[in-house]
Amino acid sequence: MNNQFSIAQRVGLMFRYDQELPQDMEMWIKAQLNAPSPALGIANTYADVAEWPEKLQPDLSQRAHLWRRYRDLKQQQREGKNGQDTEAAKQANRRENLMRKKDELKFVQRNIYGADQVKLRLTAFWANHFTIGNTFDTGSTIGHAIDEGILAKLNGSFADMLYGMTTHPGMLEYLDNVDSAGERSEQAKHCRRKPDCQAGLNDNLGRELLELHTVSVAAGYTEDDIRNAAHVLAGWGVWFDEDLSAMRKNTGTTDHWNAYKKRWAEPGTKKVMGKTISGGRNGLRQLTDFLANHDHTIHYISSKLCQHFVSDAPTKAQIEAVKLVWQQSDGDLQAIHTQVLKLAMTATEPKFMWPMTWLFQVVRLSGATYFKGWNEIYEYQDNLMDSKEVLEELGQSFWSSRQPNGYSSDKEEWLSAEMFERRIRFADAIYQNGRTRRSVNKIMDRIGATPQTRALVASVGSSPKDQFIALMCSPELMGLNYV
């Protein structure tokens, strides 16, 4: 594979079939890190690429309103209050209120049609690091967290991203912090006086904040540290189905990304890993800033970045190079990303592609139109699967009911016969249903395919479909060594 496509495969999503290739890849990466990031897609399968309409990208306030309407409608349906209008209301609600389908389609379209491919790859890394699995309460917020909590913060500091994702309603709901009350909080005291009231501390987010999002288990923190982190977090989070007057009364704000329920908070100072954290709303920022700059956090996440972009088994020198930039820049993500991508550009060993990344690269290389347009979200098309079905069949969806540790960057997790067979089926489906715009030979010439890949394609015979499958599922296109 030539240098342009080799780098784009490792750090991006490949150049689209009709895209002019950059001559200076180092300058291209620098430009990519500063590129604008509009949500690009198509309205229908025959439309030109355009920006997603604003009405399909509501902010948190609008999402909260839609969520309350959804919950109210469900309650009315349970109570039988809608009568003959129930089905019509149900259909209207499905189209207007449920965000998962829209967010998921926007995500896949953005990755296929977006010009900011390096930023989109970085977004996928961080969306996996700050996992928000799909539950009944989070389906409408995952897309917002990815767009506004990660992509919009890629050129800021890690400390800002950490605080933003920790306080995002999707994270607070996913890890049950919305129901967490300090043991000495007013809410807990109130509940202890009432037999039918329950309020207690939930340490899910406190545990994952330490174990997965920052210092990792290598830091040797204790159960007391986890519990105290949970005490710092107690009070953060609000239900979307509260009316705004109640929300303002309980939190002092109508900003769903800044909701702090003082009655639920644990009073007084806390100590986490030797750091004294003050009480009140500002304590969480003290904690996340402390963790963001901790040596164990820097080592842990530098290692994860190197494994994802540079090598399946990064060297100590590679990891140390990222750590040094992290420390010198005080956690500036643009500086950190620049160093990681610099290492990736000069890496010689292959880097295995996630199934999701591979799919986007195949579609971009071939020019296929494999996903519906935003005007076709609710239309059935027997030749195109929904984006939800595609990502779940691949075994990798940010909207699945997944565990907080996210998807592994270890290639051994993805090399089973079953996972390989799925890629074959998707390559088949993309060729048959996606209206590919480039032949196999033109794709191989454009990317500078190796003699081994050309021989593999030739070995399957003259069928264009079989050749397409062989190319897209070749070791070269998946980021694997030849044996």
For residue range 232-272, what is the model confidence (pLDDT) as tens digits?
999 998 877 667 888 888 888 889 999 999 999 999 999 99
Crossing angle of the two packed helices 25-33 and 333-346, in degrees rounded to 10: 150
Please work out, in degrees rounded to the nearest 5, the angle formed at the alpha carbon of residue 288 by the alpha carbons of 285 and 291.
145
Q: What is the pLDDT of residues 363-409, one digit of tens each?
A: 999 999 999 999 988 777 766 778 988 999 999 999 999 999 999 99
3-state SS assignment for residue 206: helix
Please work out, in degrees rounded to the nearest 5, the angle formed at the alpha carbon of residue 249 by the alpha carbons of 245 and 250.
120
CB-based burial of residue 482 (10 Å sphere; 0-12 exposed, 13-18 middle, 19+ buried)? exposed
Check pLDDT > 60 for residue 481. Answer: yes
Distance (Å, rounded) from C-alpha 166 to C-alpha 284?
A: 9
3-state SS assignment for residue 342: helix
Q: What is the pTM of this model?
A: 0.94
3-state SS assignment for residue 147: helix
CB within 8 A of 125, min separation 6: which ones? 304, 305, 308, 309
Q: Domain boundaries in the chain?
A: 60-97, 165-292, 355-478
344: amino acid identity, one letter: A
Check pLDDT > 60 for residue 88. Answer: no
54: amino acid identity, one letter: E
- E strand or H helix that includes residue 97: helix 86-97
- Specify whether the CB–CB gap between 99 and 140 falls below 8 A: yes
- Specify whether the CB–CB gap between 166 and 284 falls below 8 A: yes
Q: Where are the alpha helices (DSSP H) in 167-259?
A: 169-174, 186-192, 204-208, 223-233, 244-251
